[in-house]
């Protein structure tokens, strides 16, 4: 049988969407032999006794069967852990990334004669504009202020003009680690509610933040009935498990659940997440240590010559500005420390680097590499 010709390959590739072909795939840089401080991962592994117990649990699962009722047990455990408001339902995702895609897919319909809109303050999580593009929504970008605060007047004006189907509020924000003013956030939530739309409160970094919007959802459920709370177990300490979840009124969540692939969370992921929630105190202690080390890291960064600006943090990352982000980033990589150069993501992030908060030893190694690379 003849091989496919280059012309046939070219014709087949032409079937792919031009905007997809123009995109860059999400690259995860190799980390073998490096200190990995570029992805906001929890630096702690399970204690050996829990590793053994989890291994026995996973080994006894019926992996020859599709996922089943155990997912309902996980939903109940997550609702209890988060303190979900009465009348809430939980949707499970293969990480928050999948939930972001599902939300866009469920809302991708014209409104007032125009394409549906997805709005978010920027700089922010890259998956918001990407999900809008891939699911056929227009993305509305509202820039933060120079100090990475919400530009409330600009947000309110954009909501009034564009009437977005979905408005994302990352709380805290990535990559700025900002936990925005509660009053401004509530006024933005109110404005979205008045024009008809969802607010998705993205609390991926909730274990490291001083407060959560879920308190507002419980205090004023009718006022915040259009708010969906999205979290992940990645920053909780299970980045490798890939488990995100969405909490919201059952009437809304049940509709979004219709576009979810039926077996999107494996029996292994599900059981590992249930196991972790059974030992939530272990992960809470880890989060407390990370918050403690975060304060020490910020204090140390402020003393290093060449670090021009250090922003306060409500997450497990710290944003800094240096004279030459690219040079510093490459210098640290040469010293076997990986961090994230975010300087090209948005004009407000010029010469900014994002550092993960690790344990004391990891932070010391990262600081030494940073100081040597400036």
Quick: pLDDT tens for 345-370.
Answer: 999 999 999 999 999 999 999 999 99
Q: What's residue 3's pLDDT?
A: 63
Q: Which helix (H) or strand (E) holds 201?
A: strand 198-202
DSSP annotation of 208 reads G
Burial of 280 (0-12, 13-18, 19+ CB in 10 A): middle
**Residues 259, 166 share a domain:** yes
Domain membership flag for residue 154:
yes
Q: What's residue 24's pLDDT?
A: 84
Share of the chain above pLDDT 90, in %: 91
Burial of 57 (0-12, 13-18, 19+ CB in 10 A): middle
Give the CATH number for residue 322.
3.90.1150.10
- How far apart, in whole angstroms, are the C-alpha atoms of residue 126 and residue 93? 18
Q: What's residue 27's pLDDT?
A: 76
Give the CATH number for residue 110.
3.40.640.10
Q: What's residue 4's pLDDT?
A: 62
The pLDDT averaged over each successive group of 10 residues in the chain (374 residues) is 75 90 82 93 95 97 95 98 96 97 96 94 96 96 96 98 98 96 97 97 97 96 97 94 97 97 96 98 97 98 97 98 98 97 96 98 98 97
Domain membership flag for residue 131:
yes
**Residues 247, 286 share a domain:** no
3-state helix, strand, coil in the chain (%, to 5): 45, 15, 40
**Residues 92, 197 share a domain:** yes
Number of domains into which the chain is organized: 2
* Structural domain range at position 200: 62-276
Domain boundary among 248, 276, 304: 276
Domain membership flag for residue 56:
no
Domain boundary among 276, 305, 328: 276
Phi, psi of 320 (to 5 degrees): -130, 160
Domain membership flag for residue 218:
yes
**Residues 272, 164 share a domain:** yes
**Residues 366, 254 share a domain:** no
pLDDT, tens only, 213-234: 999 999 999 999 999 999 999 9
Query: Are 320 and 1 contacting, i.e. CB atoms less than 8 angstroms apart?
Result: no
Domain membership flag for residue 294:
yes
- How far apart, in whole angstroms, are the C-alpha atoms of residue 335 and residue 337? 6
**Residues 112, 71 share a domain:** yes
Q: What average pLDDT does the structure give for the chain?
A: 95
**Residues 258, 110 share a domain:** yes
**Residues 67, 34 share a domain:** no
Domain membership flag for residue 55:
no
Domain membership flag for residue 204:
yes
Task: Work out the angle at residue 103's Cα, subtended by the Cα atoms of residues 159 and 134, and round it to the nearest 5 degrees.
Answer: 90
**Residues 230, 133 share a domain:** yes
**Residues 249, 100 share a domain:** yes
**Residues 345, 209 share a domain:** no
**Residues 36, 96 share a domain:** no
Please state the pTM of the whole predicted model: 0.94
- How far apart, in whole angstroms, are the C-alpha atoms of residue 374 and residue 356? 18
Domain membership flag for residue 300:
yes
Domain boundary among 242, 276, 310: 276
Q: What's residue 332's pLDDT?
A: 98
């Amino acid at each position: 049988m003849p091989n496919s010709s280059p012309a046939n390959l070219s014709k087949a590739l032409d079937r792919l969407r031009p905007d997809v072909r123009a995109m860059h795939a999400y690259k995860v840089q190799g980390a073998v032999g490096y200190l990995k401080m570029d992805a906001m991962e929890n630096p702690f592994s399970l204690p050996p006794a829990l590793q053994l117990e989890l291994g026995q649990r996973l080994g006894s699962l019926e992996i020859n069967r599709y996922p089943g009722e155990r997912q309902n047990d996980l939903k109940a455990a997550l609702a209890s852990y988060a303190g979900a408001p009465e009348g809430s339902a939980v949707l499970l995702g293969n990480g928050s990334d999948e939930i972001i895609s599902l939300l866009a897919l469920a809302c991708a319909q014209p409104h007032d004669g125009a394409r549906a809109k997805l709005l978010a303050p920027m700089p922010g999580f890259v998956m918001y504009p990407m999900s809008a593009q891939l699911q056929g929504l227009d993305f509305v970008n509202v820039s933060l202020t120079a100090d990475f605060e919400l530009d409330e007047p600009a947000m309110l004006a954009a909501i009034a003009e564009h009437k977005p189907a979905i408005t994302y509020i990352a709380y805290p924000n990535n990559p700025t680690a900002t936990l925005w003013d509660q009053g401004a956030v509530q006024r933005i939530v109110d404005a979205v509610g008045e024009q008809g739309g969802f607010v998705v409160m993205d609390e991926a970094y909730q274990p490291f933040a001083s407060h959560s919007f879920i308190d507002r959802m419980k205090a004023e459920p009718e006022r915040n009935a259009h708010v969906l709370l999205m979290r992940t177990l990645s920053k909780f300490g299970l980045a490798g498990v890939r488990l995100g979840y969405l909490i919201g009124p059952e009437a809304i969540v049940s509709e979004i659940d219709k576009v979810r692939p039926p077996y999107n969370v494996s029996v292994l992921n599900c059981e590992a997440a249930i196991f972790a929630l059974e030992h939530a105190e272990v992960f809470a202690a880890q989060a407390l240590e990370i918050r403690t080390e975060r304060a020490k890291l910020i204090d140390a960064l402020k003393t290093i010559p060449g670090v021009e600006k250090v922003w306060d943090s409500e997450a497990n990352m710290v944003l800094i500005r240096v004279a030459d982000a690219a040079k510093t980033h490459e210098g640290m990589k040469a010293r076997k420390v990986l961090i994230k150069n975010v300087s090209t993501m948005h004009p407000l992030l010029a010469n900014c680097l994002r550092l993960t908060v690790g344990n004391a030893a990891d932070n010391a190694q990262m600081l030494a590499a940073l100081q040597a690379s400036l």
